[in-house]
Structure 1
Amino acid sequence: MITGAYAREMARYSRWQNKQLKGFLQSLPAEELTLDRGAFFGSIMGTANHLLWGDWIWISRFDNGPGPGGGIPESVSICTNMSDWLPLRDTIDDRITRWADTLGDDEISGSFTWFSAAKESDVTKPYAQCIIHMFNHMTHHRGQLHQMLTEARSQAPVSDLVFLPEDL
């Protein structure tokens, strides 16, 4: 289904996207970040927090490191402001990159089991599908952020994978 090289490429892409996103988020006033825009997670800040929480929960499952705590309802408030969010974003991006750098093709072909708080039970799925889901989840919520940044009359990141710089 996928290879370790795919995961490494997507980790690079995610880091690039988040680096761009951080710049645009930092340029917005707090009122714009916290304005309820009718999105699923409310505001730009709520969605950025959920994106970070989702990345953190998945990487904690994959690398057996510490997770964010709480569940989806708490995900919107893991950071109250950009000064807390920015360094945590870097920390999680670093973890994702380190994990992806260790992936070989063989382990991706197996299954993966984790405890899902949403389902209140263990779930087992193909490891490759879980990896694809993590990266797809990121892209989905960054798309929502892109839309909200546009609504806030901000520029938004270039998101085309084909324009990923080689030097990242």
Structure 2
Amino acid sequence: MIMPDYARTMAHYNAELNRRIYGAALRLSDEQRREDCGAFWGSIHGTLNHLLWADRLWLSRFGIGEAPGVPIRESAKLVSDFDALWAERQAMDETLIAWADGLTTEDLGGELSWHSGATGRDMTKPRDLIVVQIFNHQTHHRGQVHALITRFGEKTGDTDLPFVLP
């Protein structure tokens, strides 16, 4: 389905978009970042927390780092301080890039099995599909955050893949 270059490209794109999103969010007040605007995870802060939570969880299933210590329903509250959340996001992006840079075609083959707390059952899916899910999930929720940020009048710059990476 995908090749290692896909994961590398998406990991670098992901990191750059996170820099743009967090840069714009840092220009907002803490009150604006925490305002429940009706997004699935409530606020900008909550949604960005959920993204960090999900990346930790998925990478732990690939044997990288540890799973977050809270269930999905509490993922929006993972890190309370926004500056600390930004620092943890940057570290996670470096981890994602290093992981993606090391992937081989063989790493993307086969299946990944885990117990899903969200569905309450054991799951098995192709490994390459899960890699796509990691980056698709980022894009999905980051788009929600982008909408909330622009609602407050801030700008992030280009977000389209062909215009972001060299």
Fold shared per TM-score above 0.5:
yes
TM-score interval w.r.t. the shorter chain?
over 0.9
Aligned residues: 166
1:24 maps to 2:9: no
Query: Could you tell me whether the CA contact under 8 Å between 1:10 and 1:135 is conserved in 2?
Result: yes
Which segments of structure 1 move beyond 4 Å, counting only runs of 4 or more?
Answer: none
Q: Is the 8 A contact 2:158 2:164 kept in 1?
A: no
1:4-83 to 2 correspondences below 5 Å: 4-83=4-83
SS in 2 for 1:112: strand
Distance 1:121 1:74 in 2: 19
**1:122-146, CA deviations, whole angstroms, 9 ceiling, x for partnerless residues?**
2110001101011100000000001
What code does the residue aligned with 2:57 have?
I
Partners of 2:62 and 2:119 lie apart in 1 by 18
Q: Identity percentage over the alignment?
A: 39
1:116-131, aligned counterparts within 5 Å?
116-131=116-131
Inter-partner Cα distance in structure 1 for 2:165 and 2:36? 34
- RMSD (Å) for aligned C-alpha atoms: 1.2
Q: TM-score, normalised by structure 1?
A: 0.93
Q: d(CA) in 1 for partners of 2:36 and 2:81?
A: 15
CA distance in 2, matches of 1:65, 1:115: 17
**Post-superposition offset of 1:82:** 1.3
Q: Following the alignment from structure 2 to structure 1, what is the Cα–Cα distance between the partners of residues 8 and 92?
A: 15
Q: In structure 1, what is the Cα distance between the partners aligned to 2:60 and 2:90?
A: 15
Which amino acid in 1 is paired with 2:19?
A: K
- Choose 129-138 or 59-68, whichever is displaced more: 59-68
Give the counterpart letter for 2:34 in structure 1: T
**Corresponding residue SS for 1:128:** helix
Unpaired runs of 5+ residues, structure 1, are none
Cα deviation 1:76-122 (Å, max 9, x = unaligned) = 00111211101100111111111111111122121111221112332
Give the TM-score taking structure 2 as reference length: 0.95
